[in-house]
Structure 1
Amino acid sequence: MTNVRDISEKNAAASQETSAATEEQLATMEEVSSSAGSLAKLAEELQKVVSLFKL
């Protein structure tokens, strides 16, 4: 019975670690997505300003 309990505890701990890593990855992906949106807006603004200087 001790082996089953030990295995169950190890599996629970591994599941918690996996869950925490997944949450961290999700937060990072949301940050990357937000940064990409900001970069796209900056690129659009830059394109508008640069178009004023056509030769």
Structure 2
Amino acid sequence: MLDSVPDPTLAAKSCCQLINAYLNDPEHVDWDDVQKALDTALKAFDLPPTHFEEAIQRG
């Protein structure tokens, strides 16, 4: 699936950021909070910031 082993500390941080984004206000999640969690996840897996866009283009 992925060629790299994630940084466990950053992966855990990303999960916590995403959970907190939803816990703060489940009905009105702030996209900036979700984006921060995604950015941390990309770093955890050593993926480029354009990873999702490239994956969508590949289909």
TM-score range with shorter-chain normalisation?
A: 0.3 to 0.5
- Kindly indicate whether structure 1 or structure 2 has the higher relative contact order, using CA contacts under 8 Å at least 6 residues apart: 2
Q: What TM-score results when the alignment is normalised by the length of structure 2?
A: 0.33
Q: What TM-score results when the alignment is normalised by the length of structure 1?
A: 0.35
Structure whose CA Rg is larger:
1
